[in-house]
Structures are given as structure tokens and as C-alpha cells.
């Protein structure tokens, strides 16, 4: 069954005129589908859920259903007092009434509404853009802060739990294939030393959760800058997208990942490491935007670990890229064999930059709370 046939399995008025690949995601296969009638046009996002990553796709869709219905109800209730039109994609049902379609190969497909007249940028465009990205994530966290995490499935056990990634890294490192890569690559050995020197970071947040200092909430799971939609007319943030990874977790993983993404102007795929640094000015703008909504649910204990989360998430992503490179590029999509090595280099360089600006970042976090 081809992609056009799949698109026609969803309840959309009109006739399919085009379906084409879109987006730059590393996990799912994503397409833009366009249907037309004699008087209207509807565009939506069609995705094949990666079953190697999400082993229970039906749980992914149930989580999205619960969260989107909860958020849409909150948005309707608060609409008159809002300073903008807040949006969130909704599920388009398949013609059989389910939230997904299963093709002949057993692959799960889903359709989501498109956030119209809005753009997600690959990198942060300005301090104003960073502020809006922070505002969107803070608003989303606030909207789901009263939703019981126990209602959602953990669709990615171990996701954003750095000790697990570290253990997997050491398992990979012990394989003959990884040994051959290290022996033949000076740069791989350098990155291995980087991990060795900082592996104690991996346990910082999870130990706090185990002690009850930090509590489990609902998180987006992937709130990087490319998942924040900016209204093309007003310049304001309007939505967060890609809800696959919504699950119970620590909001620090969202916060740290968002700052890691937003405050590296060079982006994740840059090859020149001289372009990679943590922009403290963008950090200040992002945190100010985030705190406009996050101050309603953050605790003193939450605040104490915010810097740690920024440093940790850069280290964690670099660790994941490096482990995948040593394992043969089995998780993240790559265009060439060394791409995950390059991605790891970028994140580790960013981690060093965050460490160099620790005092400045902590000051920003304190000032934004006042």
C-alpha cells in the first residue's frame, strides 16, 4: 500500500491532490497530505509511527488523545482571557473510527491537523523567538499540570532517564564492533574520554526523584525549537507539536532539552564546532518566557535543579548519539555513517559551553523567578 492509499484511509473531506514528505524528524516518517473540494482545502500531517522506537503505537495514540482533549478543554475555558489564540493539533480519525490506521505490513499510521499560518524554525531566530518558545513550553506545562500522570502510559520506558543511556553506552562500548571503531578513530577516543569524565552527571535528576525531592509529572518529551510553532502574522508562539513522546516524567527533562536546543544558534547538524556555543542571552529570553506560566506550578525544589537539567540534557543527547554511532546507527536516521558522531561532537561541545557559563545561567534563573 502506497502513501496516497494510506492518506485516503482517514476521514477528510474532498479528494487527495498531493502527499509529500515533510519535516526533519529523526524517528517517524512524516508527510503533508492535501485534500480539496470544490470550495475548500484541508492539509494535515500524516505519519508512520516507528515501531522500532514505539513498540506500543496504540499507547502513543491513547496518550495523545487524553492530552489533546484535556488541553483543548482548558484552552476553550481560558480563551477569553488569553493574549493570543493558543492551538494544539487534534487527531483525525480513520474511516473505521479509530485514532490510527494499520497497513498490510502492520505499520501504524496517524493523521493530525496542521497548525496553519505558523512556522517551526530549525534554529532560534532572535531573542524574541526564544522568549516565545519559552512561553509556549511554560504554557503547555501549565495546561497539563493538573492532568494525572497515572492516566498515561509510559510509551518509552527509560526515555530521558540518563542512567539507562549510560548503562547502554557501556554495554555497547564492550562489544568488538565498538572496540574496532575506537581503535581506528582518534575522535571517537576523545569523545569516550569526555563521557568518562562526566558520567557522574547521569544520576543527578533520577537520584532526586528517587529521594522524593522531584516528582513525576507529565512532559512533552521533545520540546526542541523545531517543535514550537510561531504565528506568521503576530510573531507569537501558538502551539507545540509532535506529541508522540508525551508521557510521565520530570519536567526538568523538557526544560533542559528545550534550552539545549534553543540556545545553540548553530543547531544540531552543524559540522564546524567553532559555531557551537550556549547563548546566555537567548537563555535569558527563553527563561523569562517560560516563567510567565511556569511560576504557577514550579516548586523551590524544581528550581534548584534547573541548571543541572540544561547541562545534563546536552550531555545525554551527545551520549545517545555517540552510543548509536558505536552501535552501527540503529536508532537515529543518518544520511552518512559518521553523522551520529558529528551530532555527538556538537552536543558535547555545547555541554562544555554550558559549564563555562554556569554562574551566568544560574543568575538568569534566579532573576527570572523574582
User: In 3D, which of 264, 283, 262 has the Cα closest to residue 272?
Assistant: 264
What's the pLDDT tens digit per position in 57-73? Answer: 999 999 999 999 999 99
What's the grid cell of residue 232?
506568521
The predicted pLDDT at position 339 comes to 95
User: In 3D, which of 150, 272, 269 has the Cα closest to residue 217?
Assistant: 150
Q: Alpha helices, DSSP H only, in the chain?
A: 3-7, 57-78, 127-144, 162-173, 176-184, 186-198, 204-210, 251-262, 280-294, 300-304, 306-327, 339-356, 358-369
Q: How far is CA 306 from CA 61, 254, 286, 302, in A?
A: 30, 10, 13, 7
Q: For residues 349 and 268, which has the higher predicted lDDT (pLDDT)? A: 349
Q: For residue 328, is it left (φ>0), alpha (ψ between -120 and 50) or beta?
A: left
pTM, two decimals, is 0.91
pLDDT confidence band for 352 (50 / 70 / 90): very high
**For range 102-131, the mean pLDDT:** 94
Q: Specify the 3-state DSSP secondary structure of 41.
A: strand
**For range 171-200, the mean pLDDT:** 95
In angstroms, rounded to a whole number, what is the distance separating the alpha carbons of residues 296 and 211? 23
Q: Check pLDDT > 90 for residue 140.
A: yes
What's the pLDDT tens digit per position in 287-310? Answer: 999 999 998 899 999 999 999 999
The predicted pLDDT at position 167 comes to 97
Give burial (CB, 10 Å; 0-12/13-18/19+) of 218. Answer: buried
* Matching residue, cell 522524593: 212
DSSP string, 62-117: HHHHHHHHHHHHHHHHHGGG-SS------EEPBTTSSSSEE-TTS-EEEEEE--TT
User: In 3D, which of 53, 34, 50, 31 has the Cα closest to residue 42?
Assistant: 34
The predicted pLDDT at position 24 comes to 65
Give burial (CB, 10 Å; 0-12/13-18/19+) of 267. Answer: middle
The predicted pLDDT at position 271 comes to 87
DSSP string, 328-349: TS-SS--SSTTHHHHHHHHHHH
The predicted pLDDT at position 267 comes to 82
Q: How far is CA 14 from CA 38, 247, 332, in A?
A: 8, 34, 36
Contacts of 342 (CB under 8 A, 6+ apart): 269, 271
What's the pLDDT tens digit per position in 220-272? Answer: 999 999 999 999 999 999 999 999 999 999 999 999 999 999 999 888 888 89
Handedness of CA 70, 244, 20, 341 (dihedral sign): positive
**Proportion of the chain above pLDDT 70, given as a percent:** 99
In angstroms, rounded to a whole number, what is the distance separating the alpha carbons of residues 243 and 189? 36
Q: Are 225 and 72 in contact (CB under 8 A)?
A: no
Tally Cβ neighbours within 10 Å of residue 363: 13
Amino acid at each position: 500500500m502506497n502513501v496516497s492509499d494510506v492518506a485516503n484511509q482517514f476521514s477528510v473531506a474532498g479528494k487527495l491532490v498531493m502527499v509529500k514528505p515533510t519535516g526533519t524528524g529523526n524517528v517517524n516518517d512524516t508527510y503533508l497530505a492535501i485534500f480539496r473540494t470544490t470550495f475548500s482545502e484541508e492539509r494535515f500531517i500524516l505519519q508512520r509511527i516507528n515501531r522500532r522506537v514505539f513498540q506500543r503505537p496504540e499507547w502513543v495514540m491513547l496518550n495523545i488523545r487524553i492530552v489533546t482533549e484535556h488541553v483543548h478543554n482548558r484552552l476553550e475555558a481560558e480563551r477569553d482571557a488569553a493574549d493570543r489564540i493558543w492551538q494544539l493539533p487534534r487527531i483525525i480519525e480513520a474511516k473505521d473510527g479509530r485514532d490510527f490506521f494499520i497497513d498490510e505490513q502492520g505499520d501504524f499510521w496517524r493523521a493530525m491537523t496542521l497548525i496553519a499560518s505558523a512556522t517551526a524554525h530549525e534554529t532560534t531566530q532572535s531573542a524574541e523567538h526564544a522568549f516565545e518558545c519559552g512561553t509556549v513550553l511554560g504554557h503547555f506545562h501549565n495546561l497539563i499540570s493538573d492532568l494525572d500522570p497515572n492516566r498515561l502510559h509510559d510509551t518509552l520506558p527509560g526515555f530521558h532517564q540518563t542512567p539507562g543511556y549510560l548503562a547502554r553506552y557501556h554495554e555497547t562500548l564492550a562489544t568488538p564492533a565498538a572496540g574496532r571503531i575506537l581503535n581506528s578513530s582518534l575522535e571517537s577516543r576523545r569523545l569516550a574520554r569526555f563521557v568518562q569524565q562526566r558520567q557522574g552527571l547521569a544520576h543527578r535528576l533520577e537520584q532526586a526523584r528517587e529521594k522524593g525531592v522531584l516528582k513525576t509529572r507529565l512532559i512533552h518529551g521533545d520540546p526542541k525549537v523545531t517543535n514550537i510553532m510561531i504565528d506568521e502574522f503576530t510573531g507569537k508562539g501558538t502551539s507545540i507539536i509532535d506529541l508522540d513522546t508525551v508521557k510521565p516524567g520530570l519536567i526538568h527533562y523538557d526544560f533542559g532539552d528545550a534550552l539545549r536546543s534553543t540556545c545553540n544558534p548553530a543547531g544540531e547538524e552543524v559540522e564546524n564546532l567553532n559555531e557551537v556555543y550556549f547563548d546566555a542571552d537567548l537563555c535569558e529570553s527563553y527563561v523569562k518566557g517560560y516563567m510567565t506560566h511556569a511560576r504557577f506550578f514550579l516548586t523551590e525544589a524544581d528550581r534548584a535543579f534547573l541548571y543541572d537539567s540544561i547541562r545534563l540534557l546536552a550531555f545525554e543527547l551527545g551520549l545517545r548519539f555517540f552510543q548509536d554511532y558505536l552501535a552501527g546507527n540503529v536508532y537515529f536516521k543518518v544520511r552518512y555513517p559518521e553523522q551520529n558522531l558529528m551530532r555527538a561532537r556538537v552536543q558535547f561541545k555545547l555541554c562544555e559551553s554550558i559549564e563555562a557559563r554556569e554562574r551566568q545561567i544560574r543568575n538568569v534563573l534566579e532573576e527570572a523567578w523574582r
